[in-house]
Amino acid sequence: MDIKSQLESWHPKLKGKDYNFYKVTGDFNCIAFTLDIFDGWMWTNTTLWPHETIPRNSGVDGFKRLYEIYGYVPCIDGSYEPGFEKIAFFTKDGYPTHASKQFGKIWKSKLGPSVILEHQLDWISGYSEDDYGDVEFFMKRKIQY
């Protein structure tokens, strides 16, 4: 299966949409990508997780605290605010599933082993088998130049 077909298989709402994707080689997951970490997997059970300050069993709240450590504060929505970068954190049936990061007026996600997807948030949300559920919270921080 080619990458485009694979992406649309995971997220059916991508079909017919004007999305972009490109391959990357770094070994990182979606949460790491939103934190500009390109050599590590960030999840409550990984070696990179700051377990000294955030317990591994802290669930969705643990991820909020994680983003706070990296300078993010809660915000109302994912609308574009010049000078700020935002993240959208997804849950499905109460469980963390994914995070995307805003770059200007587009959102980017690390998907699968080697792909960055440029998309709208609702194109990867939903409840088909591999969709990510819904956005649970948004957070933002000033862009660090």
Single out the segment in contact with other proteins by CB under 8 A; choices: 37-45, 67-75, 80-88, 135-143: 37-45
∠ CA 21-123-34, rounded to 5°: 60
- Tell me the helix, strand and coil percentages in the chain, rounded to 5: 20, 35, 45
Residue with smaller CB distance to other proteins, 102 or 109: 109
The secondary structure of 111-126 as a DSSP string is ETTTEEEEE-GGGT-B
3-state secondary structure of 58: coil
Q: How far is the CB of 49 from other proteins (least distance, A)?
A: 9
β partners of residue 86 = 140
Q: How far is the CB of 142 from other proteins (least distance, A)?
A: 26
- Residue 35 within binding range of other proteins, rule CB under 8 A: no
Q: Work out the number of other CB atoms within 10 angstroms of the CB of residue 129.
A: 7
Single out the segment in contact with other proteins by CB under 8 A; choices: 16-24, 69-77, 104-112, 134-142: 104-112
- Residue 113 within binding range of other proteins, rule CB under 8 A: yes
- Sites for other proteins among residues 1-30 (CB under 8 A): 6, 10-11, 26-30
> Which two three-digit tokens encode residue 21?
């994707």
Q: How far apart are CA 121 and CA 103, in angstroms?
A: 12
- Residue 31 within binding range of other proteins, rule CB under 8 A: yes
Please give the residue ranges that form the binding site for other proteins (CB under 8 A).
6, 10-11, 26-31, 39-41, 43, 45-48, 96-99, 110-113, 130
